[in-house]
Amino acid sequence: MTTMNFSRTIGNLAVRFGEREALVNIERNRRYSFRQLHALTNRIVNMMRERLQLRRGDTYLCILENDNIALLHAWTALKGDAAAAYTNYRDAFDEHRWQVEFIRPKVVFIENALLDSHFPMLRELGIVVVCMDPPATPRDGLLYFWDLLEGVSDANPDVENDIQHDALVYRFTGGTTGQGKCATYTTDNWLALRDSMYMESEQPYQPDTRFLHMAPISHGSGLGLLPTLFRGGCTVTQNVPDMVQLCRNIEAERITMTLLVPTMVYRLLEMPEASHYDLSSLQTLAYGAAPMSPAKLRQAQERFGNIFMQIYGATESLHAVAILGKAEHLSASEQQLGSAGRIAAAAEVIIVDEDGKELPLGQTGELWVRSRGTIGGYYRNPEGTANEFSNGFWKSGDLGYIDDQGFLFLVDRKKDMIITGGFNVYAVEVEAALNAHAAVSNSAVVGIPHEEWGEAVHAEVVLKAGAQVSVEELQAYVKERLGRFKAPKSIILVDALPVSVVGKVLRRQVRDKYWKDKARRVS
């Protein structure tokens, strides 16, 4: 057993970096030095243990905006012995209710804006509710976060955890292909995440790093907190997913790094406001969570410079799986620019066939990942754990291959592969072709029922503001690049595509409306 007192570890950072700025919450105008953040997070853990009686075996759930969840994230959770569960503040009420009923928390920390909708449900389930701002009206059983902290000691909580076995954090998978699952993390999973960022030749995390989080800290953006902290950098939070505000904050806070999903990068390219603010401090724009159009990536490089870095990971693997660094963004071929990058240092990645047999370079199969950051399984889901984990490997469900230079190419999700007339068509490559057209803002490609071919390639396309193009022109454009059988047999122009609360295009929602009362061969 390997034990760790995480508060002592953070205490060392507090001594080392002292009055350097560690955390800035823009909307609530809170600023904490390393020394102050360490003292505050100690107080929070002591408050939870003493006043809320949250101890080992208990769970608390955070339904919070970025600035408040930052107070209760890994640098707090790993100091205590109760387990923290993070969910997205912008999930629908029914999703929150399912998560609450599934995780069975003893305490829920919640934003005041959700009290009217959520409080009756939470109290009915016997849960202690803690709001983050002074409540407008008292409610029986409602506690106020900052009142609870009054008079609490900032001493080391003196909790020791087994870093490889004690579950201290739960996070829900995105659920873009169905009902989400709940991933279980240990301290070592989080330290593996930190270490994986430090192993690469390019080091975006530096003492002067100021990382702005607009994407939800409950999800992928939160993976930047510990690498920033341990380098002596500063975490800056933004609550509202507003690209204009993002640009304003980059200028005002001299931000050096941020994370965006590809749809947000496309938006940044198209919005004139991106030229109204000084973004010159931005040294690294990390992207991930979905494939990026190589054509739009080249446009973004021309517009903003060589600041782009792709990080491919997953809820089930905190350790980076593949990274496409800034140097490779310059040297990569057009094809390699569409890859997920080279396999990250210390990540064990294999491509396997349907029987789990490893395939040679260049052959397409399912991606399996094993590392210190790979979780041991899903919480309260033995069937899902048995189906998706094998000998320490996580079976990603991503179809891909590794070329002879070590670039990992993700060609599609298993569930998104289209089988048409006996041919396999990958939605990702058709979307990349469509998105390269000058008039196209974004697209979603799915297979729809076809009496003769089983499935036909179909696309829903969003055009750029003011742009015009015919369906026939778009079909011809894709045929020229990919060939006839991969080109969409049908295209409809839409005002918007369904996206998740973290900005991923939900192909499932696009596809499902065409398959109502029908069964797909790919599932």
Those residues with Cβ within 8 angstroms of residue 322's Cβ, 6 or more apart along the chain or in another chain: 310, 311, 312, 339, 340, 341, 342, 343, 344, 347, 349, 408
Percent of the chain with pLDDT over 90: 73
Domain ranges of the chain: 421-512
* Phi, then psi, of 383 in degrees rounded to 5: -70, -45
Residue 274 confidence (pLDDT): 87
pLDDT per residue as tens digits for the range 41-87: 999 999 999 999 999 999 999 999 999 999 999 999 999 999 999 99
pLDDT per residue as tens digits for the range 270-301: 888 888 999 999 999 999 877 688 888 999 99
| pLDDT at residue 98 tops 70 | yes
The reply to whether CATH 3.30.300.30 applies to domain 421-512 is: yes
Residue 336 DSSP label: H
User: For the chain, what is the mean pLDDT?
Assistant: 92
pLDDT per residue as tens digits for the range 154-200: 999 999 999 999 999 999 986 433 467 999 999 999 999 999 999 99
Residue 411 confidence (pLDDT): 80
Q: How confident is the model at residue 146 (pLDDT cuts 50, 70, 90)?
A: very high
Percent of the chain with pLDDT over 70: 96
Question: Rounded to two decimals, what is the model's pTM?
Answer: 0.83
Which carries the bigger pLDDT value, residue 269 or residue 146? 146
Mean pLDDT score, 499-507: 80
| pLDDT at residue 520 tops 80 | no
Q: Write out the E strands in 132-193.
A: 142-144, 161-162, 169-172, 182-185
Mean pLDDT score, 104-120: 97
Buried b (16+ CB within 10 A) or exposed e, 197-224: beebeeebbeeebbbbbbbbbbbbbbbb
| pLDDT at residue 506 tops 50 | yes
| pLDDT at residue 213 tops 70 | yes
* Phi, then psi, of 398 in degrees rounded to 5: -90, 135
Residue 384 confidence (pLDDT): 92
Alpha helices in 305-393 (DSSP H): 326-331, 334-337, 382-388
394 beta partners: 369, 389
pLDDT per residue as tens digits for the range 345-377: 989 999 999 999 999 999 999 999 999 999 999
Which carries the bigger pLDDT value, residue 473 or residue 261? 473
In whole angstroms, how large is the CA radius of gyration of the chain?
A: 23
Low-confidence winner among 24-33, 186-195, 473-482 (lowest mean pLDDT): 473-482
d(CA 101, CA 59): 12
